[in-house]
Homo-oligomer: A and B are copies of this chain.
């Protein structure tokens, strides 16, 4: 039950893109975060497939958020990178073995399945409540310097 490591970098990228007015290439994002450029490209492609970011090709191309950051929830990013599959897959053990339950009984999910689904939904609910804009706002707290401003300036500087 470990979340894919790419989720962290993807979230950081989304926050950074909040501070950028122009498209930001994947290589630039990789340089800023100090991670492998080729691997980060994979996560950005996932975000692109999920329509969270839009890719702009050509010389001054890169990635841009498709929506205002308030409308991009953390859950969207997590599901885009890690997959939207439920955390618990029920193999319907009830239907196996000598005391197998009749198939029609599984129309209503069993107690175990219901519990796991409830936990899964609670987890998703928290991630759905926080948006990328919220993250960007929280990032700046507790620092003397304006972090998001520095990032924006660094992106604009082009070096």
Contacts and interface: CB of A to CB of B under 8 A. Distances in A.
Interface of A: 1-5, 7-9, 11-12, 15, 31-35, 74, 78, 82-83, 85, 87-91, 93, 96-101, 105, 108, 110-112, 114-116, 118-120, 122-127, 130, 134-135, 138-139, 141-143, 147, 150-151, 154
Contact of A110 (B74, B115, B116, B139): B139
A150 B60 CA distance: 70
B154 A98 contact: yes
Contacts of A105: 142-143
B8 A99 contact: no
A78 B100 CA distance: 24
A87 B124 CA distance: 13
A87 B1 contact: yes
B99 A150 contact: yes
Contact of A5 (B89, B101, B134, B142): B89
Nearest to A88: B3
A60 to B, nearest CB: 21
A47 B88 CA distance: 19
28 contacts: A1-B2, A1-B3, A1-B4, A1-B85, A1-B87, A2-B87, A3-B87, A3-B88, A8-B90, A8-B93, A8-B112, A31-B97, A31-B98, A32-B97, A33-B93, A34-B96, A35-B96, A99-B154, A101-B143, A110-B139, A111-B135, A111-B141, A112-B135, A115-B130, A119-B123, A119-B124, A122-B122, A122-B125
